[in-house]
Amino acid sequence: MAEYSIGLDLGGTNYRAAAIDREGRILERIAGATGAAREAILGEMVTAILRLRDNRRGDELAGIGVALPGFILMEKGLLLKSPNIPSLENFPARDALQARLGVPVILENDANAAALGEKWIGAGRGCDDLVLLTLGTGIGGGIISGGRVLRGSQGMAGEVGHITVNPTGMPCGCGNIGCLEKHASATAIVTMARMLNLGENLTSEEVYKLAAGGSEPARRVFQSMGSALGIGLANLIQIFNFPLYLLSGGVLAAWDLFAPAMFEELSRRSLTYRAAAPRVDKAILGTEAGLMGAAYLPFSVN
Amino acid sequence: MAEYSIGLDLGGTNYRAAAIDREGRILERIAGATGAAREAILGEMVTAILRLRDNRRGDELAGIGVALPGFILMEKGLLLKSPNIPSLENFPARDALQARLGVPVILENDANAAALGEKWIGAGRGCDDLVLLTLGTGIGGGIISGGRVLRGSQGMAGEVGHITVNPTGMPCGCGNIGCLEKHASATAIVTMARMLNLGENLTSEEVYKLAAGGSEPARRVFQSMGSALGIGLANLIQIFNFPLYLLSGGVLAAWDLFAPAMFEELSRRSLTYRAAAPRVDKAILGTEAGLMGAAYLPFSVN
């Protein structure tokens, strides 16, 4: 009797679910759109999970892991705050799912789940201590310490998008000035390109193409972004002395443009980087990391 | 048969040792000057420890913990790098002590030991997740996560004195620009006072007296120091979401002068600080913290 788990990665507009075995092989997968109302969302999740389970009768289901965007109160099994899925805020989602499914359910923040996924079968395989930064519209973070997610008191640990990299830098919606995500995210790239009059409605991909095509101002955008990322990473390296720091997100396509400035800051700013030579590298699971990490949750507690 | 441990806090110029019971009561203490040569240092340590042990015949010695300034390779039981005690660098001190004493010896970095001491019987009693910053000539840090010291791969975790709080700030001997310790240590206070022409050879205590006496420039020194500390702490709070952050060191006497600026930065810069309201407070063990943490080491593994 083969053992498997079901992972579900719930986003604001769609979800992905999969039945996955202990070696990380995807046995079956389902994807769909996410509704807005709480009942619709829960119904879709339950339907997807039951379908995956019904197709594996005779196998043993270790449990269900769900990755969600937002702060999660682990003890209560609920989303405390989630701008992307507001209808689930402060609702005991874990218990509601368990009641309908009759199987243990574990919730996890999506960036934490992505870090766990990379640790399990991604670029962090075999590494029990790592930090993952997801560079997207914002910057999220997941910290794995001693093989487990570092959650902090209220599940808010790893909010590295809002560490200060420039105390007099760009203002942030969080109230701070100079947050990492205001200087090193895809959004920051677009903002900087606009400040340099490269175009009003450019995407970060288009800024990348300009830079790759030789535009000096566009190249400076990525140098500035890499430099800010280097300052943030240097701080993390000084604090953790971990062997591995992973970057993920669409911006990774521009690695060759931002990485030199990033490594220059690391060498200059972190004694621990120079002495301990940790690996700073690309994550490899891409948008699958959260799904894989979600599926790993039931295995990690058994 | 009462159980006790022996802690020894070794500095560059002197040492303190004590026999301490499981409740953290000091049963007997010894202090002395530290020699420079390796053999002299080891001899003094062994003599002090044997004397403490001989006075407790019939009691059970759980083990010996030693706090040292510098990076420690835990597996090898040696000091990798120690500007204060260079003669012990790269020498297998743990095994040498164990061979002479016939008792298990555990080495620990002094800032980590201080954090452990505060967790055991200080301001962090009952708290398994905390960060301690020691504000002295430089700034050291110790991180307790899940009740244990966070060491990192090479024992360099918690080097928070060298996180960047101002990327274009003061240059640091570590190679970086704008390190926390160049903006918020006792040394930084003296440097800033000199820049403001408050006096050429002032100590940080004298700058404090000027500020307490109403000197506006001296007050601004402590505001600047508190602000830099707030930026560094805000980053730590974003990263860890721990319930407790402790400050120690002689500069604490100026708490009323620097704390308002520090808390202002925390409120402004850290969403997690505002949402989770962690305690940011004074440590209470003072210069005894390292000694107490050293004594706790044998108990923490048994």
Asked if the Cβ–Cβ distance from A159 to B239 is below 8 Å, we say: yes
Is residue A143 one of the residues assigned to a domain? yes
The complex's ipTM?
A: 0.94
Both B271 and B146 in one domain: the answer is yes
- Give me the mean pLDDT over the A250-264 stretch: 96
Number of alpha carbons in the 13 Å side-chain half-sphere of residue A235: 33
Q: What confidence score (pLDDT) does residue A74 get? A: 81
Both B219 and B269 in one domain: the answer is yes
- Give me the mean pLDDT over the A146-160 stretch: 93
CA distance A231 to A243: 17
Is residue A121 one of the residues assigned to a domain? no
Both A131 and A230 in one domain: the answer is yes
CB atoms near residue B199 (< 10 Å): 14
DSSP E strand stretches across B43-183: 60-68, 71-73, 78-81, 105-109, 130-135, 139-145, 148-149
Both B165 and B91 in one domain: the answer is no
The C-alpha angle with vertex A243 and arms to A239 and A246, in degrees rounded to 5, equals 90
Give the pLDDT means over successive 10-residue stretches in chain B (302 positions).
92 94 96 92 96 95 94 85 88 95 95 97 97 94 96 92 97 95 97 95 96 97 98 98 97 96 98 96 97 96 64
Asked if the Cβ–Cβ distance from A145 to B150 is below 8 Å, we say: yes
The shortest CB-CB distance from B152 to any of A166, A177, A241 is to: A241
Which chain A residue has its CA at the smallest distance from B143's CA?
Answer: A239
- Give me the mean pLDDT over the A160-168 stretch: 97
Both B130 and B101 in one domain: the answer is no
The tokens describing B283, both together, are 């440590």
Both B150 and B201 in one domain: the answer is yes
Place of tokens 């890499």: A226
Mean pLDDT of chain A: 95
How sure is the predictor about A270, in pLDDT bands with cuts at 50, 70 and 90?
Answer: very high
Alpha carbon of B154: minimum distance to chain A alpha carbons (Å): 7
How many residues make up chain B in this entry? Answer: 302
The shortest CB-CB distance from A271 to any of B158, B174, B274 is to: B174
The shortest CB-CB distance from A242 to any of B153, B163, B236 is to: B153
The shortest CB-CB distance from A154 to any of B176, B268, B276 is to: B276
Both B25 and B86 in one domain: the answer is yes
Number of alpha carbons in the 13 Å side-chain half-sphere of residue B92: 7
Looking only at the bridges linking them, the beta strands covering A244-248 and A130-135 are parallel
Both A96 and A142 in one domain: the answer is no
Query: Can you give the CATH number for the domain in which B100 is found?
Result: 3.30.420.40
CA distance A105 to A101: 9
Interface of B with A in 220-259 (CB under 8 A): 231, 234-236, 238-243
Cβ distance A228 to A184 under 8 Å? yes
Q: Which of A80, A240, A262, A280 to mutate to test the interface with B (most CBs of B within 10 A)?
A: A240
Q: What is the pLDDT of residues B193-214, one digit of tens each?
A: 999 999 989 999 999 999 999 9
Asked if the Cβ–Cβ distance from A154 to B234 is below 8 Å, we say: no
Is residue A253 one of the residues assigned to a domain? yes
Q: What confidence score (pLDDT) does residue A236 get? A: 98
A279 Cβ under 8 Å from any chain B Cβ: no
Asked if the Cβ–Cβ distance from B235 to A157 is below 8 Å, we say: no
Asked if the Cβ–Cβ distance from A241 to B166 is below 8 Å, we say: no
Is residue B247 one of the residues assigned to a domain? yes
Q: What is the pLDDT of residues A103-120, one digit of tens each?
A: 999 999 999 999 999 999
B158 Cβ under 8 Å from any chain A Cβ: yes
Q: How many domains does chain A have?
A: 2
Q: What is the pLDDT of residues A36-59, one digit of tens each?
A: 899 999 999 999 999 999 999 999
Q: What confidence score (pLDDT) does residue A108 get? A: 95
Q: Which of A229, A269, A273, A280 to mutate to test the interface with B (most CBs of B within 10 A)?
A: A269
Q: What confidence score (pLDDT) does residue B1 get? A: 65
List CB contacts (< 8 A) between B167 and chain A.
Answer: 165-166, 231
The shortest CB-CB distance from A276 to any of B154, B234, B275 is to: B154
Size of interface A-B (CB pairs under 8 A): 138
Both B105 and B155 in one domain: the answer is no
The tokens describing A77, both together, are 């099994």
Alpha carbon of A240: minimum distance to chain B alpha carbons (Å): 5
B128 Cβ under 8 Å from any chain A Cβ: no
Both A20 and A83 in one domain: the answer is yes
Is residue A122 one of the residues assigned to a domain? no
B51 Cβ under 8 Å from any chain A Cβ: no
3-state secondary structure of B29: strand
How sure is the predictor about A84, in pLDDT bands with cuts at 50, 70 and 90?
Answer: confident
Cβ distance A120 to A298 under 8 Å? no
Q: What is the pLDDT of residues A15-29, one digit of tens each?
A: 999 999 999 999 999
SS (H, E, C) chain A: CCEEEEEEEECCCEEEEEEEECCCCEEEEEEEECCCCHHHHHHHHHHHHHHHHHCCCCCEEEEEEEEECCEEECCCCEEEECCCCHHHECCCHHHHHHHHHCCCEEEEEHHHHHHHHHHHHCCCCCCCCEEEEEECCCEEEEEEECCEECCCCCCCCCCHHHCECCCCCCECCCCCECEHHHHHCHHHHHHHHHHCCCCCCCCHHHHHHHHHCCCHHHHHHHHHHHHHHHHHHHHHHHHHCCCEEEEECHHHHHHHHHHHHHHHHHHHHCHHHHHHCCEEEECCCHHHHHHHHHHHHHHHHC
Is residue B121 one of the residues assigned to a domain? no
Both A93 and A168 in one domain: the answer is no
What residues make up the domain containing A11?
A: 3-116+287-301
Asked if the Cβ–Cβ distance from B268 to A176 is below 8 Å, we say: yes
Q: What is the pLDDT of residues B156-197, one digit of tens each?
A: 999 999 999 999 999 999 999 999 999 999 999 999 999 999
Cβ distance B235 to A235 under 8 Å? yes
Is residue A40 one of the residues assigned to a domain? yes
Both B172 and B249 in one domain: the answer is yes
CA distance B105 to B17: 14
Q: What confidence score (pLDDT) does residue A302 get? A: 53
Is residue A100 one of the residues assigned to a domain? yes
State the sign of the Cα–Cα–Cα–Cα dihedral A171, A175, A176, A181. Answer: negative
